[in-house]
Amino acid sequence: MEYLVDGIVCISILLVLMTIGMQIGLAFLLGGFVVCSYLLGVDSSISLLGQVSYFSVATPTWAAIPLFILMGAFASNGGLARRAYNGVHALARKLPGSLMIATCFSCGVFGAVSGSSIATTAIFGKMALPEMARLRYDKALSVGVIASAGTFASMIPPSMMMIIYALFTQQSIGRLFAAGIIPGVVTAFAYAALIVFMVKRNPRLAPNAEAGSETGERTSRAQEALQMWPVVAIAFVVLGGLYSGAFTPTESAAAGALVSLGFAWYLRAFTKLSDVTESMREAANVTAMLFLINVGALFYSRVLAVTGLPTELTTMLQTADVPPFMILMGVMAIMFFLGMIMVPVGIYALTLPIVFPILVKLGYDPIWFGVIALKLTEIGAITPPVGLNVFAIKGAIPKGMKVSLEQIYKGCFPFILCDLAVLALLIAFPSIALWLPNLLMG
C-alpha cells in the first residue's frame, strides 16, 4: 500500500510541476528523481537515470526520429509545402471552400514528409491564411481548419508520435505506419465533406470560392497538380522502401532526408551551403527538445513502475467484474482529458505503462490501440486549454490579422466533432486501421 501511495505522489508531483509552468521534460526528470530518491536512494536514482538516458537513446530505432525531423526541415525549407498546397488547390478549385479543402489535403500530403503536426500547422498558417483572408473567408473557420488539419501529420506516416508509441510499447514501427494511412485519409475526406456542407449551408463562410475560367483550365490545373511530384516521390521512397523490405525504419528516414535535400537543391530552393546548415540547425534544436522530453518521460515511466502502481491497477482491473469495453472507454476518457492539459509524450509516459498491459490482456490489438491513442492526441492538440496546434497557429498568424484564442477554438470545434465521429468509426470497425498492415506485413 505504501508503494501505491508513492505512485499517486509521483503523479501528483508531475502535475504540480506542469501547473507552475516547468518545461515538460524537466518536470518528468525532477518528479521522477524526487520519488525515486525517496524509494531507492539518491545513488540508485542517479544510476537509474544514467541507464535510462543511455539505453533509451542508444536504441537504433531512436535514430529514425532525428532523421525524420531533418527530412521535414529540408522539405519545409525546400518549398515542398508550397508545392503540395498549390497542387492540391488546383484539384479542389471548383469546390465550395476550395482553399480550406486544399489546406486539409495538402496538410495530409505534406504530413507524409514532415511527421510534425506543429510544424505543419505553422507552415500552412503562414502560407494559406493570408490567401484565405484576401478572399474574405471566415477568420475563425480559416484558422480552425489549419490548426485541425495540421494534426494529420501525427497520423499519416512517417509520424514522430507513432515512433514514440512504438518505443514505449515495443511494437512494430512499420505496422503502426501502415495502420495510420487509412484513418488519416478518412479524416481528411471527412473534413472536406464537412467544409463543403458548411459552406453550402452558409456561403458567407467562403464568399469568394474560386470557380476558375474554362479556357485552358484543364491544362493549367494539370500543370499545377504536377507540382506535387517531389512530395509524392519522397513518400514513395520512404514508405515504398520500408514496406518492400529494402529499408529499415532508420534507413528509410535517412533515405528520405537525402532525397529531400536532393530535391531542395534541384528545385533551387537551396542555393548555398548556409541553407543546408540552417535546416540542420533547426532539426538539431527540435531533436534536442524532443529527446529531453522522451528521456524524461521514459525515466518517469520506469519510476512509476517501481512504485508498483501500474501492476496493482492492472491486477485490480483484470479481477473487476467490468466489461472490457467499459475499461477501454475509461482509458480513452482519461487520455482525452489528459490531451487537454499535456503534450502527447507526457500522456504516453503517464498512461501506457499502466493501461497498455491491461488492454492487451483484455484482447485489444496493440496496433489498433496505437491508432486510437494517436487519434485522441490529435483531438487533444486542438482542445482547450493546452491545444498545441492552436498555439502554433496563433504564433503563425500575420501581425495585421487579429484572431483571439477563443476564435481559434471556435473554428476548431466543428472539426473536433468530425474527429470524434471518425474515432467512433475506428472503434466500431477496427479493420479500418488493421487491414493495411495485415495486408502488407501479414
Residue 428: pLDDT band (50, 70, 90) is very high
Distance of CA 37 to the CA centre of its chain: 34
281 part of a folded domain: no
pLDDT averaged over every residue in the chain: 83
pLDDT at 179: 93
**Length of the chain in terms of residues written:** 442
Rounded to whole angstroms, how far apart are CA atoms 405 and 259? 38
Q: Are residues 42 and 186 in the same domain?
A: no
Question: Which of 279, 306, 333 represents a domain boundary (last residue)?
Answer: 306
Among left, alpha and beta (phi > 0; psi -120 to 50; other), residue 272 is beta
Q: What gap in Å lies between CA 271 and CA 254, rounded to an integer?
A: 22
Residues 207-230, mean pLDDT to the nearest whole number: 63
Q: Is residue 47 domain-shared with residue 141, that is, in the same domain?
A: no
Q: Are 101 and 246 members of one domain?
A: yes
Residues 23 and 25: their CA atoms lie apart, in Å, by 6
Domain membership of residue 20 as a residue range: 1-58+293-306
Residue 414: pLDDT over 90? yes
Q: What are 137-154's pLDDT values in tens digits? A: 888 999 999 999 988 888
C-alpha cell at 240: 515504398
Alpha helices in 115-244 (DSSP H): 117-134, 139-149, 152-155, 160-169, 173-201, 217-225, 229-235, 241-243
The label of the residue with cell 542508444 reads 58
For residue 212, pLDDT over 50 is answered with no
C-alpha to C-alpha distance for 418 and 424, rounded to whole angstroms = 10
Matching residue, cell 495530409: 108
Q: Would you place residue 3 in the very low, low, confident or very high pLDDT band (cuts 50, 70, 90)?
A: low
Q: Are residues 326 and 383 in the same domain?
A: yes
DSSP alpha helix (H) spans, 206-323: 217-225, 229-235, 241-243, 249-266, 273-306, 309-319
Verify that 237 and 366 share a domain, yes or no: yes
Last residue of a domain, one of 281, 306, 331: 306
- In a shared domain, residues 320 and 427: yes
Question: Domain for residue 285, yes or no?
Answer: no
Residue 396 has pLDDT above 60, yes or no: yes
Query: Does residue 286 sit within a domain?
Result: no
The answer to whether residues 151 and 100 belong to one domain is: yes
Instruction: Show the CA angle centred on residue 374, arms to residues 358 and 384, nearest 5°.
Output: 110
User: Which DSSP category does 240 fall into?
Assistant: I
Name the burial class of residue 365, with classes exposed (0-12), middle (13-18) and buried (19+) by CB atoms within 10 angstroms of its CB.
Answer: middle
Task: State the pLDDT at residue 318.
Answer: 65
Cis status of the peptide bond prior to 158, with omega within 30 of 0: yes
One domain for residues 171 and 53: no
370, three cell numbers:
496505437
Q: With bands split at pLDDT 50, 70 and 90, how would you rate the model's confidence at 89?
A: confident
What is this structure's pTM?
0.81
List pLDDT tens digits, range 311-360.
Answer: 676 677 667 677 888 889 888 888 888 777 677 777 887 788 888 888 98
- The residue among 256, 284, 306 that closes a domain is 306
Both 46 and 68 in one domain: the answer is no
Sign of CA dihedral 402, 405, 406, 410: positive
* Spatial separation of the C-alpha atoms in residues 234 and 256, rounded to whole Å: 6
Look up residue 265 and give its three cell numbers.
537543391
Residue 130 forms part of a structural domain: yes
Is the model more confident about 182 or about 309?
A: 182
333 — phi, psi (to 5°)?
Answer: -65, -40
Q: What is the structure's pLDDT at 216? A: 47
Torsion-angle region of residue 115: left (phi > 0), alpha (psi -120 to 50) or beta? left
pLDDT given at position 219: 55
Q: Which amino acid is at 215?
A: T
C-alpha span between 436 and 442 (Å, rounded): 9
Distances (CA, A) of 44 to 33, 34, 47, 202, 305: 10, 12, 5, 63, 15
Task: Answer whether residue 134 is part of any domain.
Answer: yes
Q: Is residue 284 situated within a structural domain?
A: no
pLDDT at 371: 95
* Same-domain status, 267 and 392: yes
344 with 405, same domain? yes
Q: Are residues 196 and 298 both part of a single domain? A: no
Q: Does residue 190 lie in a domain region? A: yes
> Structural domain tally of the chain?
2
Distance between CA 340 and CA 206 in Å, rounded? 30
Task: With respect to residue 277, please indicate whether it lies within any of the assigned structural domains.
Answer: no
Alpha-carbon span 39 to 309, nearest angstrom? 13
